[in-house]
Amino acid sequence: MRKIFLRIMLPALLGAYFSTATAQVDKKVLNWYNSSKTGMSTEKAYKKLKNITPETVIVAIIDSGIDIEHEDLQGKIWTNTGEIPGNGIDDDKNGYIDDIHGWNFLGNKNGENVNQARLNVTRIYADLKPKYDAIDSADVKSEDAKEYALYLETKEEVESNRAKYEGIIAQTIQFKEQMLPMLPGMIANMMEVEEYDEKSLKKWKAEGAQQEQMKQMGLALLSGDLSEEAIDKQITQIQGMIDGHYNPDLNERAIIGDDVYDITDTDYGNNDYEGPDALHGTHVGGIVAATRGNGLGGDGVADNVVLMSLRAVPDGDEFDKDIALAIRYAVDNGAKVINGSFGKSYSSLQKEVYEAIIYAQENDVLFVHAAGNSANDLAINSNFPAVRYDFQELPFTHLLTIGASTRVHEKELAARFSNYGKNEVDIFAPGYEIYNTFPDNKYEAIAGTSMASPMVAGVAALLKGYFPSLTMAEVRQIILDSGDYFGDTYQKVPGSEELVKFDNLSRYGKVVNVKAAVELAKERTEAK
């Protein structure tokens, strides 16, 4: 599911919705994730690689699309040399016409694209509604009992969320119309001054949570982040969730015209690698591959990669069919690492996605997946693609599930939004205050396990390129074995104030360390 990243938080009434909002852009945090003090020691790793010429590794980015013309990604985009651009012919016979830099699984041959989409829970509800909406529970057949229970569950989730967000909009409008005009005077009275500016407000010491909240709103007001225009934009975004994510009547797949439940129906898509909103995918791609040391934005983790853009994540939940086909496309066209910064609570084609991940595994391709941003224990709440399936026959040997860490190692190492799981999340990586590429040659700091996952994808590609004799299974194990161990430290459980040993939040109790991974890769390569 695509997340909406914002720079500020509205008052407490919106706190739940904007719990994954990012901090304001602060260039002091530029490249912290590559540092040795709080990050992954990437810079120190490169000092150990000076005399090695790496092989180029293809990293597939399954996401919302990538701005392939971004200044910081030049020379970092994969090109399919088997295809002749613009001739309308499938030159390399891979089933995709003019797929020069990847493929867009959310479009049609006329160049039209899906942007807004429902969540999978809404799709399930919409699919089951005609069958069960008018039926009495007493009349449900025994063989339909499980499906009927799913209908009731999805109906409740969809309708309750629609009501919740409609309430948030009403409260936000009330805040804008009634409180916002009075806010400057209220803050001045609170400070006991006639007027104030950003400098004086920053210096002023708040007493208690209420004053601190007022102070933060005042700073947001002065910066423009709490202007009427900014609030209207947020209202529009929330309304978009009601009209898109939780709208049972939306038929987002109509412009494509395929059977979304038929994995063999593959004659769709186009070569629009960016799509209508490439914000998320461009940022993810930059974390992996943004040009290092050029003074533009943040540095990418890997200097030896090219990005394959596979657009399969709309503003809403991804379709399992698109994900399965994108994984197979990546494998068939030479990717050694696939990054999946997406996830959802419900999955309709679990077996097809599982089989695609196993297909990658059989071809020695590593799939790196974000753990999700709901502060959930994945032992209780799944984030699909799942770390295991009830029907699963083969163990995953080429899957990594990544939680998000912060710069603060004292009690707050796990980002407050990150999903976790003692046996479900493999390792953590930086995922908070990550400054990198945005479309149109811009740069922003955002947060999420969506940012942590490409950190690890970048490390995996780096290791494979500099130590090509390693298999991706070996690369995976090196990343896990070489991480910085924090397992014995007490950290807050994401979403709460409870302190537990970091070991309880992931399998290895570690944060990725690139320098240590390089050292271990060298050691294990020499031992072969």
So which residues are the catalytic ones? 63, 280, 450
**301 secondary structure, DSSP code:** S
- The string over 346-358, giving b where at least 16 C-beta atoms fall within 10 Å of a residue's C-beta and e elsewhere, is bbbbbebbbbbbb
Best CA proximity match to 225, nearest among 261, 198, 188, 190? 198
DSSP per residue over 208-228, as a string?
HHHHHHHHHHHHHHHHTTTSH
Dist CA 312 CA 275 (whole Å) = 10
Best CA proximity match to 346, nearest among 385, 315, 376, 312? 385
Spatial contact of 290 and 76, defined as CB atoms under 8 Å apart:
yes
Query: Would you state the structure tokens that stand for residue 399, as one six-digit string?
Result: 């899957």
CA 75 to chain centre: 24
Q: How many CB atoms lie within 10 A of CB 333?
A: 20
Spatial contact of 374 and 413, defined as CB atoms under 8 Å apart:
no
Interhelix angle 228-240/145-174, rounded to 10 degrees, is 170
Spatial contact of 311 and 273, defined as CB atoms under 8 Å apart:
yes
Spatial contact of 99 and 271, defined as CB atoms under 8 Å apart:
yes
Considering only CA atoms, give the Rg of the chain: 24
**41 secondary structure, DSSP code:** -
Spatial contact of 269 and 106, defined as CB atoms under 8 Å apart:
yes
Query: Would you state the structure tokens that stand for residue 140, as one six-digit string?
Result: 């449900």
Q: How many CB atoms lie within 10 A of CB 320?
A: 26
- The string over 226-260, giving b where at least 16 C-beta atoms fall within 10 Å of a residue's C-beta and e elsewhere, is beeebbeebbeebebbbebbbbbebebbeebebeb
Query: Would you state the structure tokens that stand for residue 116, as one six-digit string?
Result: 């807004």
Spatial contact of 366 and 476, defined as CB atoms under 8 Å apart:
yes
Dist CA 508 CA 422 (whole Å) = 8
For the chain, what's the residue count?
A: 528
Residue indicated by tokens 């068939």: 332
